[in-house]
């Protein structure tokens, strides 16, 4: 508080006199002045981190959160922690957009013929060989676990 008073009235009185009257060391006054104008190393680091995180966030089309951004930044050579990236996102007010959910509805405006719904959601059959349904599932080669596939096309006829 005393330093602020000295700063406001330094045009009217000498700094030496004000420091003596307010019982403040002149070295303390000059240190305070330097500290106010100089950016601390923490502030420099935060500014650098914010600019790098903002660039990576915009490159990811605002889809990545702190964990994925951290992985991407580490791949680029920045040794940032997940909490550091999360704090940077919070400081800048950035939030990742949620990606759209998968919609299983097929595209109807393709112009191709669509088969009729002969069952009309009535799946009960009073005997065998009355209602047949087919399913062709294609899986990506080399990937297991997708709908119980074993890496080859599967044709399943149920009756």
b/e per residue, 88-108, with b = 16+ CB within 10 A?
A: bbeeeebebeeeeeeeeeeee
Percent pLDDT > 70 in the chain is 79
136: helix, coil or strand? strand
Which pTM was predicted? Answer: 0.48
Query: Lowest-confidence range among 44-53, 63-72, 87-96, 140-149?
Result: 140-149
User: Model confidence over 132-159: pLDDT tens digits?
Assistant: 877 666 555 655 555 555 555 555 555 4
> CB–CB of 132/159 below 8 Å?
yes
Rg (CA), the chain: 34
Assign 46 a pLDDT band (cuts: 50, 70, 90). very high
């Amino acid at each position: 508080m005393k330093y602020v008073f000295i700063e406001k009235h330094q045009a009217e009185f000498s700094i030496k006199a004000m420091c003596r009257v307010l019982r403040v060391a002149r070295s303390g006054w000059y240190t305070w002045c330097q500290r106010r104008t100089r950016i601390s190393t923490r502030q420099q680091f935060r500014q650098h981190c914010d600019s790098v995180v903002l660039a990576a966030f915009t490159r990811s089309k605002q889809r990545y959160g702190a964990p994925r951004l951290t992985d991407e930044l580490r791949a680029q050579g920045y040794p940032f922690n997940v909490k550091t990236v999360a704090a940077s996102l919070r400081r800048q007010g950035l939030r990742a957009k949620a990606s759209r959910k998968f919609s299983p509805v097929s595209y109807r405006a393709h112009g191709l013929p669509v088969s009729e719904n002969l069952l009309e959601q009535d799946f009960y059959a009073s005997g065998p060989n009355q209602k047949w349904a087919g399913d062709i599932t294609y899986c990506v080669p080399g990937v297991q676990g997708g709908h119980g596939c074993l890496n080859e096309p599967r044709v399943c006829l149920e009756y």
